[in-house]
Structure formats: C-alpha cells, structure tokens
Amino acid sequence: MSNQSIQTVSTSGDKLKIMLAVVAAIAGVVGFYALVGQPKYVRLGALVGGVVVAAILVLISQTGRDLIAFAKESVREAKKVVWPTRKEAGQMTLVVFGFVLIMAVFLFTTDKVLEYLIMNVILGLK
C-alpha cells in the first residue's frame, strides 16, 4: 500500500475545468431534451457529446488524474486479495448457519422464559 499524501488544494484552473465539465454534462442533458423533434441519433449525439466533453475535462484536471491513480491502486490492491476456495466458503457458510441456529434457539428460549416470568409469576394472569 502506498502512503501518498492527500492534497485538498487545487488550482483555479482545475476548479474551472471541473465547473466546465459540469456545465458540459448539463448542456448534453439539456440538448437531449431540447432536440425533441430531431432524430434519435442527433439527440443521443448531443447527450453523449456533452458527457464525453465533461469526462475529458475532468480527466485532464488534477482531480481526474488523482481519480485515475486511485483506481489503478484499487485494482492493484484487489489483486492481492486471497479468495477462499469453494470448500472453505462452504465451511464458513455452515458455521454461520450453525451460529444463527444457536442464537435463534437461545433468543426463543429467553423470550419464553421472560414471558412465563412476567405473565405468570409477576402479573399472575394465567
């Protein structure tokens, strides 16, 4: 695991790129709905074009580069995970079911004992 420092300071250029990306994405959605009378491929072109421009603007900003670095590091860490075999997974599942069964019996017994104590012994209703 890398120990990269987290930086929250971004330049005004990066902020401008992010704002322009938001505007481009909104423009793509607005264009999709504004071109109601046009063929579907024109409307989809406006939507996809706005989203693609927004993605490009985000990815060329420092925030986008940090996101790509984070994604690459996440994939690298996920590759280090040791997954259980089918037999181990089955055994763990049986242990969980066994524990749930034991807890169900315990809670049922506790509930019935408390019900008996409250209804019969304390209140004398039965």
pLDDT tens for residues 4-35? 655 555 678 888 988 999 999 999 999 999 99
Is residue 99 classed exposed, middle or buried when 0-12, 13-18 and 19+ CB atoms within 10 A define those classes? exposed
CA distance 18 to 115: 62
Q: Report the pLDDT value the prediction gives residue 13, as an integer from 0 to 100.
A: 83
For residue 103, what are its two tokens? 């807890």
Helix axes 12-34, 62-78, angle to 10 degrees: 90
Q: Report the pLDDT value the prediction gives residue 63, as an integer from 0 to 100.
A: 85
Q: Report the pLDDT value the prediction gives residue 1, as an integer from 0 to 100.
A: 53
> At 2, is the pLDDT very low, low, confident or very high (cuts 50, 70, 90)?
low
124: left (phi over 0), alpha (psi -120 to 50) or beta: left
> What type of residue is 2?
S
CA distance 96 to 69: 37
Task: State pLDDT tens for residues 21-72.
Answer: 999 999 999 999 999 989 999 999 999 999 999 999 988 988 889 989 999 9
Task: State pLDDT tens for residues 79-103.
Answer: 999 989 999 999 999 999 999 999 9
CA distance 112 to 106: 10
Q: Report the pLDDT value the prediction gives residue 29, as an integer from 0 to 100.
A: 94
